[in-house]
Structure 1
Amino acid sequence: MKGRIFGLTLLTIFSGLSLQAQKTFRIGYVDMEYILQNVPQYQEASSQLDAKVQEWKSEIEEKKREIDEMKSRLNNERALLTRELIEEREEEIAYQEEQALDYQQKRFGPNGDYLIQKKQLVRPIQDQVFTAVREISENRNLDMVFDRTADTGMLYAAEEHDISDQVLRSINRAANRRQVDSRQDRRELETAEERTVEQDNKIAEKAEMNENKQNAREAILAERQRQRDSIKAAKQKELEERRARIIEERQRRMDSIRELRQQKDTIN
């Protein structure tokens, strides 16, 4: 099945690139399973993981034997036990079965320790492979590199064959055409569609530069306004403090005059 998928993938690529006959198209592939089998670090770590797996399996089998013995004892002693004791033993067996199942899922479930450690084991080797594939591909001028043992296949592709931007532009154009109403909008859309990705990138870069300049100007203006507001606030505070001192001084004078009058009236 993997070989068929790999062959169909290559056929699709060759068909899509048939128009580029003037350029030699170079493809390479790697066998990830073969690489992993011949990396000593991976083999050593894999052996350690296999030992853990055997230990986990032994623990699970031991737990199952204990549960089977509990069931056997209950069947043999059932006639001698009260209903309450039978129900208690059955509940204990059900609990132990649930615990055994949870442990099995913890070790070998979709998110279990085995798959997690397997991924952790493979990932460093995969990173080394990807790095080596990129370096070799660039040195040998390879356009694409596949993993023959994987369904997804692609490990490396030269950027010149990346048509993601073109696909995105096509999708956006289709969406924009449905939204166009006036002739003016249609003409503007046609003009935009005639531009290449590089031209669009330059326009986007220019727009970004203009936006950055505008943001910088607005930041400068905001800072100047903040400074003006700060100076204005400081002057306002100084004015209010001066007014408060004047009022306070005036009040003291009035109190002093009132006190002198009271003393004069007392003397008279």
Structure 2
Amino acid sequence: MEAAFCFWTQFLTRNFKFVKTLFKMFELSITEAGVKTFQTWLGVCLAAVMLVGVNSASAQLKLGYIDSQKILEKYKEAQDAQKQLQDLNKRWEDEAKNMQQELQSKLEELESQALLLSEERKKEKENELQNLNIRLQQFQQDKWGNQGEVFAERAKLMQPVIDKINAVIKKVGSEEKFDYIFDVVNGNILHVSDSQPNLTDKVLEELNKSVATAKPASTTAKPPAATPKPKN
């Protein structure tokens, strides 16, 4: 059984078409599983093999798992990045809200003065409203559209965090000689045996340790030198 498991493990890593076939056997599609990389496909496939009872494989493969959602929630640098993104998004939301209020105010002003304005002046105010509305829509598109600044800022702030997390996962896996480390969030693994090591806390410990060592040592500010008294 162990030899067979090792054979199929090696075969899966080398044969992409067989991975698709295995998905069909379990009535899953790559789209339904939310799997975007071959590494994740392999993780799900291996997890499926684990779940059907090939427990004896642990003698040859060392498997572990992490919870990426918990890591992002507990990792200090991830928290800081999320806070920066929230603050930036809040600032833009306030700007959009102010523009909406200005638009509403000018619209009410035009409606209240419509009978008193000349056609020329009325047209000017209508054009002003139209331009303000266009400016508001453009602002919203620039910030929250498909290619908006919110997404660009999220990538800018979170990518270094993700890179550090991945580096620590690789470090832990290498030092403790794990063959595979699965993510129970992105891999859509529905069950993990208690016998499989949960490396989430270990990864968090390493990450937060690096944050602590990166902080500069606090120094006590020296009082300013006393001004010498003039000689009499």
Are the counterparts in 1 of residues 81 and 158 from structure 2 also a CA contact under 8 Å? no
Indicate yes or no: 2:139 matched with 1:106: no
Indicate yes or no: 2:125 matched with 1:66: no
Aligned to 1:76: 112
Q: Which of 145, 155, 169 is matched with 1:119 structurally?
A: 155
1:14-163 equivalences in 2 (<5 Å): 24-150=60-186
Q: Structure 1, residues 103-142: CA drift from partner, whole Å, max 9, x if none?
A: 1222222222222121122111211111111222223332
Q: Which runs of 5+ in 1 are unaligned?
A: 154-268
Aligned to 1:13: 46
Aligned to 1:260: none
The amino acid across from 2:45 in the alignment is T
Percent pairwise identity: 20
When normalised by structure 2's length, the TM-score is 0.54
Distance in structure 2 (CA, Å) of the matches to 1:44 and 1:145: 26
Distance in structure 1 (CA, Å) of the matches to 2:84 and 2:44: 41
Residues 15 and 41 of structure 1: CA distance in aligned 2, closer, same or farther (over 3 Å): closer
Which range is displaced more, 39-48 or 89-98?
A: 39-48
Distance in structure 1 (CA, Å) of the matches to 2:118 and 2:58: 90
The amino acid across from 1:13 in the alignment is L
How far apart are residue 150 of structure 1 and its match?
Answer: 2.4
Distance in structure 2 (CA, Å) of the matches to 1:61 and 1:11: 45
The amino acid across from 2:158 in the alignment is V
Distance in structure 1 (CA, Å) of the matches to 2:188 and 2:152: 21
The amino acid across from 1:94 in the alignment is Q
How far apart are residue 11 of structure 1 and its match?
Answer: 5.8
SS in 2 for 1:80: coil
Distance in structure 1 (CA, Å) of the matches to 2:141 and 2:44: 41
The amino acid across from 2:70 in the alignment is Y
Aligned to 2:229: none
SS in 2 for 1:110: coil
Distance in structure 2 (CA, Å) of the matches to 1:22 and 1:36: 29
Aligned Cα RMSD in Å? 3.3
SS in 2 for 1:81: coil
SS in 2 for 1:41: helix
The amino acid across from 1:95 in the alignment is N
Are the counterparts in 1 of residues 110 and 125 from structure 2 also a CA contact under 8 Å? yes
More helix by share: 1
Residues 140 and 67 of structure 1: CA distance in aligned 2, closer, same or farther (over 3 Å): same
Aligned residues: 149
Residues 110 and 152 of structure 1: CA distance in aligned 2, closer, same or farther (over 3 Å): farther
How far apart are residue 37 of structure 1 and its match?
Answer: 2.0
Q: Which runs of 5+ in 2 are unaligned?
A: 1-31, 35-39, 190-232
How far apart are residue 35 of structure 1 and its match?
Answer: 1.4
How far apart are residue 16 of structure 1 and its match?
Answer: 6.7
Whose relative contact order is higher, 1 or 2, with alpha carbons under 8 Å and at least 6 apart? 2
Residues 98 and 40 of structure 1: CA distance in aligned 2, closer, same or farther (over 3 Å): same
Residues 91 and 34 of structure 1: CA distance in aligned 2, closer, same or farther (over 3 Å): same
Residues 22 and 77 of structure 1: CA distance in aligned 2, closer, same or farther (over 3 Å): closer
